[in-house]
């Protein structure tokens, strides 16, 4: 395989990766903590789109618990969003064993 063909294939793969990233960025995942008392929606860009807090968990005497539940839900949501992104990229790169840290 000559270098010119390799470059063309690399460009095709780069375009497919960019398309997969754009597609994954539009996906929204939901995560929750406290048995669903706090839930968040996160998109593929790791942006929090919404937070829902059940009124039963709002206790002025225990703000720390609410803070912990929010942090746990947000972290889970971001992890799920990153996993979705990785899944999309893996479909493009296939079994090439390509690890592209920092691209998503």
Q: Mind listing the pLDDT tens digit for each residue in 20-30?
A: 888 888 899 99
Expressed as residue numbers, the domain containing 55 is 27-92
CB 50 within 8 A of CB 40: yes
pTM of the model: 0.75
Domain tally for the chain? 1
pLDDT digits (tens, 9 = 90+) for 33-59: 999 999 999 998 899 999 999 999 999
CA distances from 25 to 22, 51, 82 (A): 5, 18, 10
Q: End-to-end alpha-carbon separation of the chain, Å?
A: 30
The CATH number linked to 59 is 3.30.1310.10
- For helices 3-26 and 63-93, what crossing angle results, to 10°? 150
| 31 within domain boundaries | yes
| 39 within domain boundaries | yes
Q: Give the Cα separation of 58 and 98 in Å (integer).
A: 46
| 12 within domain boundaries | no
| 85 within domain boundaries | yes
């Amino acid at each position: 395989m000559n270098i010119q063909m390799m470059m063309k294939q690399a460009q095709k793969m780069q375009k497919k990766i960019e398309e997969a990233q754009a597609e994954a960025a539009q996906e929204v995942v939901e995560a929750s903590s406290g048995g669903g008392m706090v839930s968040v929606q996160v998109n593929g860009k790791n942006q929090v789109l919404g937070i829902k807090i059940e009124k039963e968990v709002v206790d002025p005497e225990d703000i720390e618990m609410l803070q912990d539940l929010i942090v746990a839900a947000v972290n889970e949501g971001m992890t799920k969003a990153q996993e979705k992104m990785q899944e999309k990229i893996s479909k493009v790169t296939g079994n090439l064993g390509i690890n592209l840290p920092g691209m998503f």
